[in-house]
């Protein structure tokens, strides 16, 4: 996911129990901050539903999911 202001969104997700890793300048080009999310097959449906709801809330429709 490429987003701006990744720190704000990352903090929102972390506050609700979704662990994220942020990448910003100089790791990536300035203005192209990224948030990395990985899912484990050990998670249950309720945990996945919670994580997806938190991600959706943090990005408010800005998410583009690609395979």
| 30: DSSP letter | T
- Is this model's pTM higher than 0.75 or not? no
Domains held by the chain: number: 1
Residue 26 to residue 32: CA distance in whole angstroms: 10
Q: What CATH number did the domain enclosing 35 receive?
A: 3.90.1150.10
- Predicted pLDDT of residue 4: 52
Q: Is residue 1 part of a domain?
A: no
Residue 13 to residue 52: CA distance in whole angstroms: 10
- Predicted pLDDT of residue 61: 56
pLDDT in tens, 19-57: 887 777 777 777 777 777 778 889 899 998 998 888 888
pLDDT in tens, 26-36: 777 777 777 77
Domain containing 43 equals: 6-59
| Preceding omega of 26 cis (within 30 degrees of 0) | yes
Q: Which of 67, 4, 65, 66 is CA-nearest to residue 34?
A: 4
């Amino acid at each position: 996911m490429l987003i701006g202001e990744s720190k704000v969104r990352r903090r929102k997700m972390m506050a609700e129990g979704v662990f994220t890793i942020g990448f910003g300048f100089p790791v990536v080009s300035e203005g192209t901050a990224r948030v990395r999310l990985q899912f484990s097959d050990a998670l249950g449906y309720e945990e996945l539903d919670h994580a997806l709801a938190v991600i959706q809330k943090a990005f408010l429709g800005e998410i583009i999911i690609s395979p």
